[in-house]
Every structure is written in C-alpha cells, then in structure tokens.
Structure 1
Amino acid sequence: MEELEKERLNQTFNSYFKTFHETFQYLLDQTPYSSLDKVSWEEVVKMGDQVYKQATIIFGMFWTEEKTELKAVEENMVTYFNTVQDLLLLSRGCTVGAGPTLSSYISLSLQKVFDAVGCSIKLLAICVSSYGSCNKDLKLDVLRLVGAVCASFEVVCSDLKKTPATNITAIGKEMKQFAGSVKKVLCEMKELKPASSILMDEASDGGPPITEAGLQGEDDDLSPEEMKIAQSAIGVVSETTVVIEELIRSIIGLLDQEKSDNNGSFVYSLEKLLKLCQEIDGEIFELKACLYPPQDVTDIKEALENISRIISEMLAVVESFSTFLATFFQACRGLTSSIKQMETELDNYCTSDIESKMQNVAVSNERERERERGDSC
C-alpha cells in the first residue's frame, strides 16, 4: 500500500515538474513582446509571498513525524507548482517598459527567487521519494534541508520588496551610488596636506626640501601653489555632489511623466542621465589623481573640460522633460562657475611658473658669470 502511494505521489510530482520545466524553458528562450500587458512589480511581490507561503505548507507536511495523508500532500504539491508557474508568467510581464537599469534589478531579484524554487523542487523530489519512510536518519536530513530552504525563501521574498518598481527608482538608486562615490573622492581630497615650512632651500644643496621637523617632505605633500589648486578642485567636486543630488531629487518627482510615457523616450533620457553620472564620476576620480605631485596642469584642465561637457549634455537632456526643479539648474550654474574660476587659477599658475623659471634661469646665469669673473682674477 505504501509503495503504491509513493508511486502515485511520484507520478504527480514528475507530471507537474515536467510542465513547470517546459514553461520555464519557453519563457527563458523568448523575448517579451511589446504588446504584452504590463504587470506591476507589486503583483510579483504578492505572488512571491504566495510561493513562500505555499512552500512552507507543503514542506510542513514532511516536517511532522506523522505521515500526512496522501491526498493532502498531492493537492498542496499541485498548488505549489501552479503558484510557481503563475509567478513565472507574471515575471514575464513585469519587464514591459523597463529600461536596462530596471530590467537588471528585476532579473537579479527574480533569479534569486527561481534559484530558491529550484532548490525547493529538488528537496520536494527527496521528500516524495522518502514519503512514508521510517528511516529516522533520512527524516532528520530532510528536516534540516526543509528548514534551510524555507529560510532562503523568506530572504529572497523580502528582497523582492526592496527591488525598485519603476525606472525612476531604479535609476535614482544607481545615481545615489555615484553620488556616494564622488563624496568618497571629496573626503580623500580633503586629506591632502601642504608641505611643512621649508627651512633649507632645495637649491642650496641640490637635495629635497627639509621640513621643520628636519625630515624630507613626504611625496604626497603639496607646495603652496599646488595646495591652492587642490583647494579649487575640492570646490569643484563639492559642487558636483550637489549637482548629482539635485538631479536625483528632480527625477524622483517625475513619476507621473514615466507613467504617461508611451514610446520609451522618457526612459531613454533617464538612462542617458545615468550614463552621464557614471562619466562624471570617472572624471572626478581622474581629477583627484592629477592633484598628487607633480601636478600636471594639462591633465587637470582636460578633466575640467570633460566635466563641463558632461554638465552641458545633462542640461540638454533635462530640457526634454516637461518640468524639472530649478535647484538643479542652480547647482549646474554653481559647478560651472567653480570650474571657470579654477581654470583661471590654472592659467595664472602657468604664467607664474614660467616667470619663476625664467627668473631662476636669469639668476643662475648671473651666478655663472660672477664665478667666471672670479676665476679670471
């Protein structure tokens, strides 16, 4: 009798597993049609909760020491497979209208769910094969696995709730990461320090400057002129963080515009802004690298020019939106002003540096002539 029940349960499992696998493979191989109905992420989250709930019910039947009635096990196993299949079909529609960034978040979250589903089905196969068994060691192993699978389900379903539900929230989340990266660079730049007061001129013995402590200056210590450039760069980076933060605040207020977008142009514009944030993050990193001695004014100017170009492109994209916060435009003007001021200081630095070098050459020539006159006497 027990063998017949196990065989029947095994047949039911294999039948529904085959259907599930075929559905999963079909959806995996097909690209969602644009005509597919849009499914809200909230529906996917609710269905994920149902999958978790049903998993705890079916595995709870194998958790007990007493053998659960075959009919009840069959019915709940069928319900579990059907719920998982519903989640598969829903996930198909939740990517409609999603840009690359949102699609990436959705795919990652769903992959975690389906990984948990795959583990649960493997465990279900073990539970079915051990149905009615009196082997205590096997039962203990199953109990441990059931606990682990249910715990993983709880985690992934909780993660579903944290997944961005719109293109705006997904892109805003990514932009916040770039804002954090720029702030980190700003903190590192503020750690740059000037060289200590020089007690002995380098030219007196041809060696490195000597500090007040009587030690050679550190390689990363900046001269007064270099420190001025670093301070200007800190101002530029500080203004850049304001621009990104205002950009995030602005796009979060455009949810209604995303809902009314029918041709995807709005999402494309958001993705473009995200790409520009990534570019400006890279330029800020380059700018920081240029500040360590010996500073290369040409490289610094190039980074500033690139930042200016990126801001201009941002403004061009933003103009396509029906509304945008005035604070963003103010932040852009503030950054542009800081860049122009720093470029002026760099030009002045170059002029002063040339004059200083020419003066040193003149002094050196004069000393050489005095030495020659002394030798002739």
Structure 2
Amino acid sequence: MQFRTACAIRNQNPQSPSQVSPCTAAAPPLVPPSPPAQLSSSQPRRATATSAAMSKKGGAKKKAAGGGELSRFLETHLQTINDTFQMMSESAPGGGLERTEWSEVVKLGDQVSRQATVAGMLWSGDLPDVATLKENIDAYFNILQGFLLVCHGSLVGVGPTLHKSISSSAKNVIDSSFSLFKQAVSAYESRSPDRKIIIPQVTGTVWEACVALKKVPTTNCIAIGRAMTQVGVYLKDILREMNELPIGDSSDSTAGKSSNGIADTASCSDRDEMSFDLDLDDDFSEEEIAVTKLVISVASDSLVVVKETIRFITGLLKSAGNQSGANEEKVDTMEKLLIYCKKIADQVNDLGAAVYPPQDASDMKLTVTRLYDGIKGMREEIGHLGGSPAGAFAALDELVKCLGSLESELADDVVDEMENLTISH
C-alpha cells in the first residue's frame, strides 16, 4: 500500500524528460485499440456485382412489363384493322356513291410503305422507351386504316372479279404489316439479337405488297380478262401433263395434234423414260390410248376457246377506246362468261384425271355432258356482248366436234365392255 501511494504522489510531480519513474517503467505499455477489420479487395467487388445484378434484374422486369404492355397495345390496333377489312371484303359501298380512283389507293400505299421504313429503322435500331414505340404503332396503323377506307371507296360499282382482286391486294398489305409489327414487338420483348436482321426483312415484304398495288386492274373488264388468262394457264398446265402420258408414238395424228393443229411436244424418248417409272397396273390398253388421245385434243381445243374468248374481249376494249366505263354495262355478262370458262377448265381437268387406267367410260360421258352445257352457256353470253365473236364461235365449234368424237369412242367402249360381260357370263 505504501509503495503504491508513493508512486502516485511522485507521478503528480512533473519530471524532466530524462527521468524515468520506476512506476512508469513498471507499468505495461498502452496498446492502442485495434482498428476495425477492413474488407478484403475481393469483397467490395462482390458486393458491387451483386448490387448491379439486382439493379439489372429489376430493370429487366420493368422492360418485360413494358413489352407485355406493347403486345396488348398492338392487339387493339390489329383488331381494328381486321374489323375494317372484314367490312370491306363482305360488301361494296352502296350505289349512288362516287368511286375512289385507284390512283388514290396507290398514293396511300406509298405512305404505308414510307411509314414501314420508319418503323423498320426504329425497331431494329437502339430501342427507345415504350412511349415512343407506342407513338410509332399509332402512326402506322392510322395510315393503314386510311388506306383500307380508300380501298373500300374504290369498290363502288365493281364486279366480283375486280372486288376479289382489290381485296386480295389490300389483304397482302395488311398481312405484311401485321407480320412486321408482331415480329418487332416479339423481338422487343425477348431482346432478340436477331432483330436487326429479321425486321428489315419483314419490312421488305410491306414494300413489295405496296408496290404490287400498281399492278391491280383498274376496271372490271381488265380484271375479267386477267382472270381468263389464268384459266388459260391452268388449261395449258393440264395439257402439258397429259402430253407426258406414255400412250405411244406422238407421230400419231390424234396424239400429235389436236383438232386445231397444236403439236405434241413430248418426244418418244421422253415418253419411254417416263413409262419406265409406271407400274404395270398403269399400262394403257389400245382402247384407253384412243380415249386418252381424244381427251388431249379436247384439252387443246378448250385452251383455244379460252384464247379466242380473251381475244374477243380485248377487241371490245379496244373498240371502246379511252372512253371511261364504256363496257362497264356489260360486266355482268362478262362475269358469267368467265364462270363458264372456269367450269370448262374444271371439267377438262376431270377428264384428264379420268384417263388413267382403269378408265370409267360412264363417268367420262357425264363430264362430256357438262362440257356441252358450258359451251352452250358461253355461246349465249358471247352473243349478248356484240362485237365480232366469229373467232370465239369457230373455236367453240371445233371443241364440239372433238367432244363428239370422244363421245363416240366412249360409247364404243361401253358396248365392248357389255359384250365382254355377256361372253364371260
């Protein structure tokens, strides 16, 4: 106790720097408090990465939410366009209205094409915010809606063939536009890395659909003429396929030519090669070969009928000159004429399908009867149109003769078949 008191008293007195108190020497040195433990160099990086990942995840959720919002926003516009097109395709505007010139439709199509270019650049570039994308959708579909309304105005007074042509062209613009924005929104939602490749491609389909508007027929007569041309192409394909049948030497007068002198283009070597691939059950008997050659002639003569009918209608258009709507009062008759052409082509196709063994003569005779009905209808409608139908009438006469020969051959086949049944019985 005394030692501690003495030391305490001495410590109260100041000392020189050179003096060291025994109490001071004996006391343990003061240890400064340990500094707080510091994070290792890897810990702050890990914490920063975790924070960034959480931030990115939150941003992705916001973007996904925006994408879903865009899908719903787009769907309302798609439904509006579908409703408008449905109205347009079901009925034309009422009578008494002035028809919109097709040139106005083409102008609106050019605007759609330009707006598609803007959309393609926007959606394939650096993605903006949702509000900007919505504005682009609004702008595009407002123009598309106007395009459809102008198309509807162009349907005043049109016949079914021109109506179909206009509606089909408008549908191509709609379908390509829908494809553009559906894929654009999908790429936005999924953050697809291929959007810079896909979107320009679908934008190109919109351009093509808009450019095709310039080729749409502007009058009923032109539309009907083009439709008849398609019937001719259809018959030409049928004739080409039938000429490839392995039915013998093409030098035969019936196989080599139709009643109008159209030569068979299939060579003997070609036919030998094709017949090599046929099964034995497909071999033609002599009677079936004779029938098949006559059917080929019917197909060829039917093609000539369509060609002469087109030539006849072209003559009517030329005789009218530049008078707008000069032949429009004859549209109903021309539409009926087109229907008969299509029916004849369909019956020829049925005959072509019926020549493969075993042939059914009774079914083929029914088809021939329907062809006679079609020829009769064509004669009546051509007569109603006036003009100079001599070429068309001559082609119809040749077709009737050819059908008569086919009918006789089929009748002989039926008699032979009945005799064979009697003998076998």
TM-score (norm 2): 0.59
Matched, 1:259 2:325: yes
C-alpha distance in 2 between matches for 1:35 and 1:174: 27
Identify the match of residue 306 of structure 2 among 244, 248, 255.
244
Q: Quick one: structure 1 residues 291 and 36, their matched pair in 2 at CA, closer, same or farther if it must change by over 3 Å?
A: same
Match of 1:91 among 142, 147, 151: 151
* Counterpart mapping for 1:96-115 below 5 A: 96-115=156-175
From 227, 231, 234, the equivalent of 1:178 is: 231
Structure 2 residue corresponding to 1:162, chosen from 215, 219, 226: 215
Whichever residue aligns with residue 188 of structure 1, its letter is E
SS of equivalent residue, structure 1 residue 108: helix
Q: 1:229 maps to what in 2?
A: 291
Deviation sequence 1:48-83 (CA, Å, 0-9, x none): 113323543576578887x9xxxxx9x999986775
Check whether the contact 1:42–1:165 (CA below 8 A) recurs between aligned residues: no
Partners of 1:91 and 1:77 in 2: CA distance: 21
Of stretches 152-161 and 165-174 in structure 1, the one that deviates more from structure 2 is 165-174
Q: Counterpart of 1:289 in structure 2: which amino acid?
A: A
CA pair 311-251 structure 1, distance change in 2 beyond 3 A:
same
Give the direction of change, closer, same or farther, for the CA distance of 1:141–1:246 in structure 2 (3 Å limit).
same
Quick one: structure 1 residues 53 and 344, their matched pair in 2 at CA, closer, same or farther if it must change by over 3 Å? Answer: same
* CA separation of 1:20 and 1:86: change in aligned 2, threshold 3 A: farther
- Give the conservation status (yes or no) of the 8 Å contact 1:304–1:339: yes
2:282 to 205, 220, 223: 220
* Contact residue 258 and residue 266 of structure 1 kept, 8 A: no
1:188 paired residue number:
241
Question: How far is 1:239 from its partner?
Answer: 0.6
Q: Gapped runs of 5+ residues in structure 2?
A: 1-75, 250-278
Cα drift, residue 38 of structure 1: 1.0
| Alignment correspondent of 1:284 | 348
Quick check: 2:221–2:327 contact (8 Å CA) kept in 1? no
| 1:152 correspondence with 2:216 | no
Q: Distance in 1 between matches of 2:201 and 2:179?
A: 10
Q: Distance in 2 between matches of 1:116 and 1:140?
A: 22
The whole-number CA distance in structure 2 between the counterparts of 1:113 and 1:192 is 45
Question: 105, 108, 113: which is aligned to 1:44?
Answer: 105
Deviation digits for residues 192-213 of structure 1 (CA, Å, limit 9, x no counterpart): 4259xxxxxxxxxxxxxxxxxx
Cα displacement (A) at 1:122 = 7.6
Residue 125 to residue 318, structure 1, CA distance change in 2 (3 Å): same
Match of 2:363 among 299, 316, 333: 299
- 1:149, distance to aligned residue in structure 2 (A): 5.4
Contact map agreement 1:318 1:324 (CA 8 A) in 2: no
Q: Residues of 1 paired with 2:136 and 2:358: CA distance?
A: 72
> What's the offset of the Cα at 1:261?
5.0
Map 1:313-328 onto structure 2 (within 5 A). Answer: 313-328=377-392
Q: Would you say 1:56 and 2:110 are equivalent positions?
A: no
Residues 143/37 of structure 1: CA separation in 2 closer, same or farther (3 Å cut): farther
- Secondary structure in structure 1 of the residue aligned to 2:282: coil
Change (3 A) 1:356 1:170: same
Check the 8 A contact 1:258/1:267 in 2, yes or no.
no
**What letter matches 2:105 in structure 1?**
V
Letter in 2 for 1:105: S
Give me the whole-angstrom Cα distance separating, in 2, the residues matched to 1:273 and 1:314.
Answer: 6
**Which residue is equivalent to 1:35?**
96
CA distance in 2, matches of 1:29, 1:124: 27
Kindly provide the CA deviation profile for residues 15-42 of structure 1, in whole angstroms up to 9, marking residues without a partner as x: xxx9999798568547522222112323
Deviations 1:106-127 (A, max 9, x none): 112112223445567789999x
